[in-house]
Amino acid sequence: MKFIDGTSLITQNKTFTKILSDLRMVIDTNSSILLTGETGVGKELLAEFIHRNSNRKEEPFIKVGLSALPAELLESELFGHEKGAYTSASNEKKGLFELANRGSLFLDDIDDFPFVLQSKLLRVLEEREIMRIGGERTIPVDVRLITASKLDLKNLVDEGIFRADLFYRINVVPINLPPLRQRIDDISALVNYFIERFAGERIITITPDAIEALMNYRWPGNVRELKNIIHRVVLFCDSEIQVKDLPNEIVSYNHNNEIIQSCQNCLITHKMSFKDTINCLEANLIREALNQCSGNKLAAAKLLGIPASTFNDKLTKYKSESGDILFD
């Protein structure tokens, strides 16, 4: 996939492709979009994709990481202030909502948004106008809001640290981005893209064994981790990336061992029964096999070395009503 401005958004994964296809149905609307997913999955990149392909593409795209801003500065950054509003306010200042007028505003880490300011954000979204700190008049704003969260906001609502009305207001179009370990079929293309990006004028290739090692890794840091590792490897590579050039945590990684150690922890530390621990191990192995085979049940059964009928029986056993395999 490509941005209209030429920037690459690379995927052949069915889940991610479906996300992009669904997005095109709402991309020109004013509906708020909530992107959720683990750190490093590409929420900011997708937010930019949304803006660059929308009818607001010629207008500003403003992005801010809420977790990086002190709470005492956040209100001024978002809504602006008038001259003299407080001691250090020597000049008037436009907030990010004003700067993004007619364009898009991306608020990353919305799960870190201070509770005391949530009602003010809600009012801006509902009334489509802001009032600067120390101001006496409202200023109309036309902004498409895109937010992102690394946590499940529903849980924060249940815990009383995120307003339910604000959650429903920003969750008009919810999009959950899959982690890289569920996009194994994208790794080869992403690796080659990053190699070309960081190699400059040099011609650098990568061996099939090195690609396989990268595909077998769990990628807790997702696409961001993959990007940084390829950048590092390219810097010290002459012409061909081999397995020996990869970081030790990738070369020596064995996910089956990680699963077994995790289940051992369930048995000993969490005092899970022996039967439930065995079920946990089976469920995790089935999930991992499906991830590695891009959801192909026959291939997953072959990978595990069990008959397809046995695999299907166990898959049915470990599925919840929502379709997710139990025992995360």
- Report pLDDT for 269: 59
- Overall average pLDDT of the 80-86 stretch: 72
Report yes or no: 139 and 129 within 8 Å, Cβ to Cβ: yes
The model's pLDDT over 108-130, given as tens digits with 9 standing for 90+, comes to 999 999 999 999 999 999 999 99
Candidates 1.10.287.3510, 1.10.8.60, 3.90.580.10, 3.90.550.10; CATH matching 181-251: 1.10.8.60
The domain spans of the chain are 14-178, 181-251, 255-317
CB 75, CB 117: distance < 8 Å? yes
Q: Is 211 exposed, middle or buried (0-12, 13-18, 19+ CB in 10 A)?
A: middle
321 pLDDT above the threshold of 70 = no
Give 14-178's CATH code, choosing from 3.90.79.10, 3.40.50.620, 2.40.160.60, 3.40.50.300.
3.40.50.300
Buried b / exposed e along 226-249 (16+ C-beta atoms within 10 A):
bbebbeebbeebeeebebebbeee
Q: Note the pLDDT tens digit of each residue in 149-186.
A: 999 999 999 999 999 999 999 999 999 999 998 898 99
Domain 14-178 identical in fold to domain 181-251:
no
> On the CB side of 68, how many CA atoms lie within 13 Å of its CA?
5
pLDDT band of residue 298 (cuts 50, 70, 90) is confident
Label residue 99 exposed, middle or buried (CB < 10 Å: 0-12, 13-18, 19+).
Answer: middle
Q: Is the pTM of this model over 0.85?
A: no
Mean pLDDT of 20-47: 93
- Roughly how many angstroms between the first and final C-alpha of the chain, as a whole number? 32
Radius of gyration of the chain (CA): 23
Least confident of 140-144, 197-201, 204-208, 309-313: 309-313
Q: Is the pLDDT of residue 294 over 90?
A: no
pLDDT score at 259: 62
User: Helices marked H in 181-254 — which ranges?
Assistant: 187-199, 208-216, 222-235, 248-251
**Averaged pLDDT, 134-146:** 91
Q: What is the pLDDT of residue 326?
A: 45
